């Protein structure tokens, strides 16, 4: 599949945000996490598209929506390869790769039921770390338990 064809699959938007280079199997997770189901603007998405590197990817386009830092951090946690493109009047005004934050505050729930953040109303806080294989993990500031991507539950 050439590039032209890939671009034809998902329509252009006049203004809004394109989330490109999402791992294909994470596309629906990003849609759910950003509550796009309830978004009243136009939302287009595609999965299992082929990028230039012949790696299957997902893409989401949301008109008239721009994301704040918290939402961008969420995207980075689920889809660390994602690129965000902001569009105004069909022009790209901003394009950048998401970056994993060093710490994650208040957006993720600790998976340890005994953690003080679950038993008392204390906001969660995690350090973003990588193990020796380069796998991203979140380490709870309070109970020091470490969770992998699979355990991540957004608040
Ligand atoms: Zn904890």
Cα separation, 22 vs 103, whole angstroms = 22
- Calculate how far, in angstroms, residue 67's C-alpha sits from the geometric centre of ligand 1: 27
- Calculate how far, in angstroms, residue 141's C-alpha sits from the geometric centre of ligand 1: 7
pLDDT, tens digit (0-9, with 9 covering 90-100), for 36-76: 988 899 999 988 887 666 678 999 999 999 999 999 999 99
pLDDT, tens digit (0-9, with 9 covering 90-100), for 74-130: 999 999 999 999 999 999 999 999 999 999 999 999 999 999 999 999 999 999 998
- Calculate how far, in angstroms, residue 153's C-alpha sits from the geometric centre of ligand 1: 12
| pTM (predicted TM-score) | 0.85
Among 62, 74, 77, CA closest to 19? 62
Q: What integer pLDDT is reported at residue 49 of this predicted model?
A: 84
CB-neighbour burial class of residue 43 (10 A; exposed 0-12, middle 13-18, buried 19+): middle
131 pLDDT higher than 90? no
Confidence grade of residue 8 (pLDDT, cut at 50, 70, 90): very low
Cα dist from 22 to 48, 62, 116, whole Å = 10, 14, 34
Average pLDDT over the chain reads 89
Cα separation, 150 vs 49, whole angstroms = 24
């Amino acid at each position: 599949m050439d590039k032209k064809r890939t671009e034809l699959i998902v329509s252009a938007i006049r203004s809004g945000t394109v989330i490109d280079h999402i791992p294909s199997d994470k596309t629906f997770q990003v849609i759910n996490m950003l509550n796009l189901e309830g978004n009243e603007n136009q939302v287009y998405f595609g999965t299992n598209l082929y990028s230039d590197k012949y790696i299957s990817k997902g893409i989401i386009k949301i008109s008239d929506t721009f994301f704040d830092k918290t939402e961008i951090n969420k995207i980075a946690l689920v889809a660390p390869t994602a690129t965000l493109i902001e569009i105004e009047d069909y022009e790209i005004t901003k394009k950048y790769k998401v970056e994993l934050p060093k710490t994650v505050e208040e957006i993720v729930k600790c998976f340890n039921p005994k953690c003080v953040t679950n038993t008392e109303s204390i906001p969660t806080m995690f350090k973003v770390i990588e193990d020796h294989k380069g796998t991203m993990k979140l380490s709870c500031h309070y109970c020091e338990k470490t969770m992998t991507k699979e355990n991540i539950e957004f608040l």
